[in-house]
Amino acid sequence: MDRHPLELVTPVFHWLDRVIAEYGLYIYLVAVWASPFLIAWILRGGFWRTRPRPRSAAVLPASSPPALPTV
């Protein structure tokens, strides 16, 4: 009853072979067109760039001008 571990992933490899055979050109074209954007993103910092934290604004109560003296 023991099956070789490779037998479990063999259908995945067959599916991957079929997808590449049918859509390989389109996958290649997407990779070529996406690569300049990916390279630019990596050079700008990529995963290591820290996100700017929003500045906390202090909320002050609205004040009214002082009352005028009565005459």
Per residue in 32-42, pLDDT (tens digit) is 999 999 999 98
Place of tokens 């049918």: 22
Q: Are 9 and 17 in contact (CB under 8 A)?
A: no
**For 4-62, how does the pLDDT look when each residue is reduced to its tens digit (9 = 90+)?**
777 888 889 999 999 999 999 999 999 999 999 999 998 888 877 777 777 776 676 77
Sign of CA dihedral 40, 44, 45, 47: negative
- Per-domain residue ranges of the chain: 5-46
pTM exceeds 0.75:
no
